[in-house]
Chains A and B, each alone.
Chain A
Amino acid sequence: MSSASVSVAPKKSGADIPFNKHVAQHREPGDWVADIVIWVLLALIVAVVVYPLWFVVIASFSNPAMVSTGKVTILPVDINFGGYEKVFSDSRIWIGYKNTIVYSVVGTALNMIVTLPAAFALSRVDFKPRRVILFLFTFTMYFAGGLIPSYLLYKDLNLLDNMWVFILPGAVSVWNLIIARSFFETSIPEELHDAAQIDGLSFFGYFLRIVIPLSSAIIAVLGLYYFVGHWNDYFTGLIYIRTDTKQPLQMVLQNILLANQTQQGGAGNGGQSALQQQQLADQIKYGVIIVSTAPLLILYPFLQKYFNKGVMIGAVKG
């Protein structure tokens, strides 16, 4: 098995995939029908994708009784921040938030420090051992030791219930490394290497001073992939962490969102009926979803323009 070779698929820059002008120019009667069908289908798809997200947003600050009786549909009804008040006063969420920020920032930093230089070294065609190394890397994408051998290894390495279990085992994602490697292979002109050599730059110098400044697209994409991976990591906390104060946000979310505690309204709501408490619990859940997903949604517009580029760099070809 040689490594899955990966290369940039199209020649055009990905951020704005150009439409085919001729299709727009010649219009025939049948095209109008086709157009209408296409637009209706796409409008439907967009609605199906957006509506559940939009509903969570409006439900998080609507009157929970209105939400549960189906009165909240398009716009928030009887605006009420009771759910958010409970969310913001819940210390578990802030501990989880703090932990996840630490794990994600430190983890992503290590990911980049390990992945980028390796991907660059392995992108050099003249570096002959790269074929063997890439094969050994790729192999791990399809074959792994599995849960128990990993668990026992982490135990021996003293990683159980240790924050480094979030950071070290995932230090390099082979998939991301391959994406970065194909970026370096195809997007950095070889002439730069020759010029750098003539100017007496070392290989390190070439990488740090010439290649890295030209690689903002791939750095943004990898940074996003790794960061989202850390932010959404639930598995590690579930398997390897025992102490509550070390749990990441996703474990805290699981406890709040899926534990189905009807008494979440808290002790101070003694006068409320079970129904009201259930409704408040639901509103808290909507609020928690928003608060926990907000950082990614804030990052999203800034990084969006890189998505096409990133995935296209990773476009796998035979």
Chain B
Amino acid sequence: MAVKEKAAASVVDAAGVVDNTAARKALPWPKRLAWHIQHYWQHWLMALPAMVFVFIFAYIPMYGIQLAFRDFVPSKGLTGGQWVGMKYFNQFFTSPMFSKVMVNTIKISLGTLVLGFIAPIVLALLINQIHSTKVKGFVQTITYMPHFISTVVIVAMLNIFLTPNTGLLGRFFGGTSLLDNPDMVAPIYWLSEVWQHCGWNAIIYLAALSSVDVSLYEAAKIDGAGRMQLIRYVDIPTIMPTCVILLIMNMGSILSVGFEKVLLMQNAMNLPGSQVIATYTYMIGLKSFQFSYATAIGLFNTLINFAFLILANWISKRVSDTSIF
């Protein structure tokens, strides 16, 4: 207490507010810790529940990743099995399923990445061209709506609409459902994703567009810019940083496709085109109980995603000075 008073007396600014940061830095660490706890125990207490939940449900499973390098023995728990190194990774890389699930996963996710990136930008640029606030609000309200529908319902709607002969769309495509065709799974997935999330994902670009400096438009108009040029030289550069950030974040999920959605879309006929890494992990792990093998496949997936995220971030830092970390 005496030390604290001395520190308080030493640095007092004009307004009489005590600034003892400098004095505090000079204290030995146990005293600094005591000071920190005394001042910040309420901050810690408020953050603690979230920290506990994140620790238990995110970090403990990370510790369980070692299962990928061990033979799993149920009676011995996570760490008890024999260390087998890369055995399960090699098993996956040499398995005939490897190339199939990789191709399917990349096909589905890359198409979603590209379409899901471009469509909201186009929609936002279009909506931004409307002058009436009411119409703007109406278009936004309508296009956000599908975002809140559950995956189960979306896939059910796809199934019903694509029913051959009787479905809303199916009646135009002959006697078999498009969903039964392995080659059509990916396009159906892309388009339904765009349909569901395009409006919602446009919000962030609309927000960026609403902050355009009006004088930029004026200046461009004086220079004789037409409407397309305003979009090209004012609107698009304005949303560019947002686009780059979202692209980087999406790169972090290059090998992640919506597990639920693909699983629900799967049927015996389309399986050659719809078995992806996530559903394969589920099948190997929880259907045939090869825990170590499934963990290895899951880890491989996570590592590739992580590598792409880092790579995209690095490139973007180099090229446009925009990055998420």
Contacts and interface: CB of A to CB of B under 8 A. Distances in A.
Interface in A101-151: 113-115, 117-118, 120-122, 124, 127, 129, 133, 136-137, 140, 142-151
B208 interface: yes
A19 B132 CA distance: 7
Interface string B34-56: 00000010111011111101101
A80 interface: no
Interface in B194-252: 195, 199-200, 203-204, 206-212, 214, 217-218, 221, 226-228, 230, 241-242, 245-246, 249, 252
A296 B148 contact: yes
B214 A20 contact: yes
A257 B152 contact: yes
Interface stretch (B91-99, B102-110, B138-146, B181-189): B138-146
A67 B252 CA distance: 43
Given A49-B145, A253-B150, A69 B166 contact: yes
A312 B207 contact: yes
B203 A145 contact: no
A192 interface: no
Interface residues of A, number: 109
A74 interface: no
B302 A143 contact: yes
B48 to A, nearest CB: 8
A203 B43 contact: yes
Given A11-B211, A234-B150, A285-B156, A133 B64 contact: no
Interface residues of B, number: 107
Interface string B14-34: 000000000000000000000
A177 interface: yes
A232 interface: yes
A244 interface: no
A316 interface: yes
B129 A38 contact: yes
Interface SS majority for chain A: helix
A161 interface: no
Interface in A260-306: 282, 285-286, 289, 292-293, 296-297, 300, 304
Contacts of A50: 142
Contact of A53 (B131, B144, B146, B259): B146
Interface string A80-94: 000000000000000
A172 B54 contact: yes
B151 A234 contact: yes
A258 B143 contact: no
B133 A168 contact: no
Interface SS majority for chain B: helix
B62 A149 contact: yes
A18 interface: yes
B174 interface: no
Given A151-B286, A285-B156, A38 B260 contact: no
B2 to A, nearest CB: 24
B225 to A, nearest CB: 11
A318 B323 contact: yes
A147 B298 contact: yes
B324 interface: yes
B211 A68 contact: no
B153 A292 contact: yes
A293 B149 contact: yes
A171 B53 CA distance: 7
Nearest to A68: B166
A289 B44 CA distance: 44
Contact of A147 (B40, B43, B285): B285
Contacts of A282: 160, 163, 166
A253 B153 contact: yes
B206 A17 contact: yes
B324 A228 contact: no
Nearest to A282: B160
Contact of B61 (A146, A228, A257): A146
Contacts of A228: 148
A14 to B, nearest CB: 6
A31 interface: yes
Contacts of A286: 160
A113 B127 CA distance: 37
Interface string A185-207: 00000000000000000111001
A14 B207 contact: yes
B211 A52 contact: no
B270 interface: no
Contacts of A297: 145, 148
Interface string B276-308: 000001100110000100110011011001100
Contacts of B133: 16-19
6 contacts: A45-B123, A146-B281, A149-B62, A203-B42, A258-B152, A293-B150
